[in-house]
Amino acid sequence: MSGHPLLAAKGIYKSFGKHEVLHGVDFDLREGEIHALIGENGAGKSTLLRILFGVHKASAGTIEYKGETVRINSPMDAKSYGMAMINQEPQVFSDMSILENIFLGHLELTSARMVDYKRMEKIADGLLQKLGLNMDVHSKMMGLSVAEQQMVEIAGALSSNASIIFMDEPTASLTPDEVQRLMDLIRRLKSEGKTIVYISHRLEEIKQISDRVTVLCDGKKVGCYNTAEITIDDMICSMIGCTLGEMIKKEETEISDEPHFAVKGLTSNGAFSNVTFEVRRGEILGIAGLMGSGRTEIARTIFGVMKRDAGTIEIDGKPVVINSPIDAIRHGIALVPEDRHGLGLFLKKPIAFNTTFAASWKIKRKLGFIDRKREKDVTEKYVEQLKTKLTSIYHNVGDLSGGNQQKVSLAKWLATDPDVLILDEPTRGIDVGAKTEVYKIINQLARDKKCIILISSELEEVLALSDRIVVMYEGRQTALFDRSEINEVNVLAAAHDFA
């Protein structure tokens, strides 16, 4: 064994705005190993990989390649050290051919410096065969499933002759069959001497395939272990070791008998169909399901963003017409969207502006002028209620940490005084501490007699908080569980339509 690791990161710090996400992380990679990187959402795994790959620049720290300090300022630099990245969401060129999607960035050239499609075709055919794929390399990328796109990305990494391959949650959107194929492939790559860094939430996979595991928690390295010497339970413990014991706790609330909000046979063509459920005041209704099962689309349809093709939405037993978010707000419905950045908040605008944006009628004077005093009052009320940490309500939302941004997003919709609150992935991308606070807030809202619809891809969250759970599978409602029937097995079975 040589003295130096193939690639090593030492004391990596990284901040986005004022929010530090990596606090001095060390990481080392030995030649020819499969090295898993695990941790909860927001622990900093992807950020670390992206720093190694030159996408982000570390605020402090060094990267060493075979013992020598190197500068990796761009993916171009990373490529020159033989690195390649398989992204969590496949990064594809949908209007271009599969062939070009494999080779872009390192197109093969003829002696006349022209693109050598013939040679690329030959190499691609070989690669695709090796990956067990049967596709026409000249057809366009669009129309491929996510799994196929991912395979094309992997073919791309292989065609660049990369010796270090980073895989950021490659199995997140694959079926069990496809996962198995990927596992076989990774083993084969290892036997060919490639070095692989593997991020995944699926610990069984990691146990199966990796040689070593590095665990991150809240931007710090917990430790690096030989996979053979650590059990899955130990992995979980070290991942959440630094968290607040039992994080999610459901508080009993008084649930009224009559449903306040209901949807019947709700359908949006192409997204989901025939969804029926009701929510009582003080109740938390969870919606569970895999990615792409139609969860978010239900929320968007109720809120009038997506077209409702069939079914009714009822409030207090009376059907209401909702064709736009404005209608929804008027009927006391609020949607805290999944994508805080794209949909929820104006990052470059002050906290006060964001908080009062959806409830502007509260702070408007005649002729549409803003009443600054009332703006301040409303904002501060929610800062206090949600315990948002900030220096001034006139600072931009973008300067806050993820958890506090999420609270502003919540405040924005609470300010509209909704009776029905739809929370889509309320804890995505925020740290553990902030999560527990969000859970507390959700409980508090239920106690305040709101109807809460909770959508989350984190099953534990839905299981722990919900009074009832709707389970979706590929746009179909496969189950509706009462509190007594809620358990992991039931929900998972319904989410995979095994029932």
Partner 1 sequence: MKAKEKRLSGMALREVGVVAIILIIYVIGCLIEPRFFSFDVLVNILLFTPVLLLISLGEMMEIISQNLDVSVGSIMGFAATVGGAIFRYDKSFPIIVVFLVTTGIGVVLGLINGLLVTRFKLPSVIVTLGTMNIYRGLIFILMNAKQIDNMYIPQNLIALSQPMKSVIGIPYTVIIAFAAAALVALFLRRFKTGREIYAIGCNREAAELRGINATRISMLVFIIAGGLSGFAAMLFISRVGYVNPVTAGSGMEFTAVAAAVIGGTSMAGGVGTTLGTVLGCLLLGVIYNSISYIGISGYWQDAIYGAIIIIAVIIEKLIKTRLVKGQEA
Mark the segment that binds partner 1 (CB under 8 A) among 11-19, 73-81, 408-416, 465-473.
73-81
Reported in sequence order, the residue ranges of 378-475 that DSSP labels E, i.e. its strands, are 420-424, 451-455, 468-473
In this structure, the dihedral spanned by the alpha carbons of residues 282, 312, 473 and 152, taken in order and rounded to 10 degrees, is -110
Determine, following the binding rule CB under 8 A, whether residue 309 of this chain makes contact with partner 1. Answer: no
- Is 96 near partner 1 (CB under 8 A)? yes
Cβ proximity to partner 1: between 89 and 252 the closer is 89
Altogether, the residues listed in the chain come to a count of 499
168 binds partner 1 (CB under 8 A): no
* Cβ distance to partner 1 smaller for residue 84 or 393: 84
Q: Which of 69, 139, 145, 226 touches partner 1 by CB under 8 A?
A: 139
269 belongs to the binding site for partner 1 (CB under 8 A): no
Q: How far apart are the first and last CA of the chain?
A: 51
Q: How far is CA 284 from CA 20, 444, 449, 480, in A?
A: 33, 11, 10, 13
**Closer residue to partner 1, CB minimum distance, 88 or 385:** 88
Min dist. Cβ of residue 131 to partner 1 (A): 19
The dihedrals phi and psi of 240, each to the nearest 5 degrees, come to -110, 10
To which H or E segment does residue 138 belong? none
- For residue 288, the cross-strand partners are 471
Is 348 an interacting residue with respect to partner 1 (CB under 8 A)? no
19 binds partner 1 (CB under 8 A): no
Give 76 or 310: the residue with its C-beta nearer to partner 1: 76
Residue 64's contacts (CB-CB under 8 Å, 6 or more residues apart) are: 4, 5, 7, 8, 9, 10, 70
Q: Nearest 5°: phi and psi at 154?
A: -65, -45
By CB under 8 A, residue 100 contacts partner 1: yes
How far apart, in whole angstroms, are the C-alpha atoms of residue 188 and residue 198?
A: 15
By CB under 8 A, tell whether 85 contacts partner 1: yes
Determine, following the binding rule CB under 8 A, whether residue 161 of this chain makes contact with partner 1.
no
- Residue of 60, 104, 321, 326 that binds partner 1 (CB under 8 A): 104
Nearest Cα to Cα of residue 207 among 192, 224, 182, 229: 229
Q: Which of 24, 61, 75, 429 binds partner 1 (CB under 8 A)?
A: 75
List 14, 35, 45, 79, residue binding partner 1 (CB under 8 A): 79
Binding residue (CB under 8 A) for partner 1 from 11, 57, 142, 226: 142
How many alpha carbons fall within 13 Å on the CB side of residue 49?
27
Binding site for partner 1 (CB under 8 A): 53, 55, 74-76, 78-79, 85, 87, 91-96, 100, 104-107, 109, 113-115, 136, 138-140, 142-143, 156, 270
